[in-house]
Amino acid sequence: MNLSIKKGVGFGLTSGIITTLGLIVGLNSGTHSKAVIIGGIVIIAVSDALSDALGIHVSEEAENTHSRQKIWEATIFTFLAKFFFALTFMVPIMLLNLNQAIMACITWGALLLIVANFIIAKTNRDKPLAVITEHLFIATLVITASYFVGSLIKQIN
């Protein structure tokens, strides 16, 4: 797999997991509504995937070191990875009761992050535990902040 595809998949996967988990946990703490959470996931899968793909596209163009083909590969694979991984979180939401679904989503997201970061660490000859721990810590911060933001919004309404 070439570097532009790795960038796109790595960014899309990571952003798709962490953004979608933050959204799910925040919306759940604020609304406790499956319909709202499903709507949020679909919106994230489309609008945020397009936005992130454009961000990668502009970033790669700004570097001015990549061919048009490599820029478009990174763009397309960012969109596809973010879109796909965001949508995977709909499965537990649709199949389980909401409390179980939230726990299943967090577990699924953590598992995906662990596997992806293990592969990245091994590829880069880094210590997998350090890379995994760092990224799970960041994901935990996002999820926790989202929970409190959702709870605060619920109290305001």
* Mean pLDDT, rounded, for 118-141: 95
Distance of CA 111 to the CA centre of its chain: 12
* Number of domain units in the chain: 1
Q: Is the pTM of this model over 0.85?
A: yes
The boundaries of the domain holding residue 150 are 3-156
pLDDT digit string, tens, across residues 34-74 = 999 999 999 999 999 999 999 999 999 999 888 999 999 99
- A 10 A CB-CB count for 33 gives 13
Q: Is the pLDDT of residue 141 over 80?
A: yes
Count of residues in the chain: 157
d(CA 50, CA 47): 5
Helices 98-123 and 128-156, packing angle to 10 deg: 150
Summarize pLDDT for 99-116 with one digit per residue, the tens.
Answer: 999 999 999 999 999 999
